[in-house]
């Protein structure tokens, strides 16, 4: 999370977090309270503050994660290599399809994220995919207790309705527009120079952007079975954001 005096940015991985935090560091006039990458809020967090979060289509997020690994980067790539699966990171769309088929399996949770794999004695990984977990871990206070206690999809839905922190959402596919609206609206009071921050959003290059394996293709092509599995595992992001 990235916390300031009047607001908090909740930052799931691979959703433009580095860029947003860099913008806040440069243009926010409020004192920074703390900045702990990808760490959730605690149960007794200050709910009087304004919370916003970034979110991304899970398929696009998986593709970014695969592309990062195809550049010989990341702990997940190392874990796959340890299991003799490093050849999947060949930087092709067919390699991505094979990789995603494995990643969506519950039994591969430990290779993706050890905390995710162990949460709720392993039951959480059976209910949601990695991208949903990353989102909910940021959006909910004390997820290692609250989310871990859920034993069904309905319990996750109820928990989110009752406990979610964010009230504003920066969608990765509308990144600039949503950030500009945020700066000119709910965060305008906290910026030293709103229009300078807007210009930064509209003109500065993205930070830590991976070269995507589909860069020269019109669309990402998945088989029907894999599409169905993706929708099944990331059901929450589909219901909540239409992905």
CATH classification of the domain holding 90: 3.40.50
98: domain range?
A: 2-241
Residue 74: CB partners within 8 Å, gap ≥ 6?
65, 68
Check if the beta carbon of residue 64 is closer than 8 Å to that of residue 16: no
Please give the tally of structural domains in the chain.
1
pLDDT of residue 79: 87
pLDDT of residue 202: 96
Average pLDDT by consecutive 10-residue portion of the chain (243 residues)?
98 94 98 93 97 96 91 83 89 91 93 93 96 98 97 98 98 97 98 98 80 60 91 97 95
| Calpha distance 135→91 (Å, rounded) | 26
pLDDT of residue 219: 63
pTM: 0.93
pLDDT of residue 215: 57
pLDDT of residue 209: 60
């Amino acid at each position: 999370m990235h916390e300031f005096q009047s607001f908090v940015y909740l930052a799931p991985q691979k959703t433009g977090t580095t860029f947003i935090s860099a913008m806040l560091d440069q243009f926010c006039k409020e004192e920074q309270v703390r900045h702990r990458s990808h760490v959730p809020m605690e149960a007794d967090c200050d709910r009087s503050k304004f919370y916003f979060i970034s979110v991304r289509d899970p398929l696009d997020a998986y593709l970014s994660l695969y592309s990062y690994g195809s550049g010989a980067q990341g702990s997940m790539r190392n874990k796959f290599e340890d299991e003799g699966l490093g050849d999947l990171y060949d930087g092709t769309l067919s390699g991505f399809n094979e990789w995603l088929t494995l990643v969506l399996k519950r039994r591969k949770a430990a290779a993706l994220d050890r905390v995710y794999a162990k949460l709720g004695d392993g039951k959480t990984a059976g209910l949601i995919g990695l991208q949903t977990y990353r989102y909910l871990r940021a959006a909910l206070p004390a997820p290692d207790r609250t989310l871990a206690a859920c034993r069904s999809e309905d319990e996750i839905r109820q928990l989110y309705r009752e406990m979610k922190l964010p009230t504003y959402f920066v969608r990765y596919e509308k990144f600039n527009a949503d950030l500009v609206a945020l700066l000119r609206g709910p965060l305008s009071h906290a910026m030293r120079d709103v229009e300078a921050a807007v210009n930064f959003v509209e003109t500065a290059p993205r930070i830590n952007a991976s070269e995507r394996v589909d860069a020269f293709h019109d669309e990402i092509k998945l088989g029907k079975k894999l599409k169905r599995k993706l929708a099944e595992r990331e059901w929450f992001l589909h219901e909540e954001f239409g992905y």
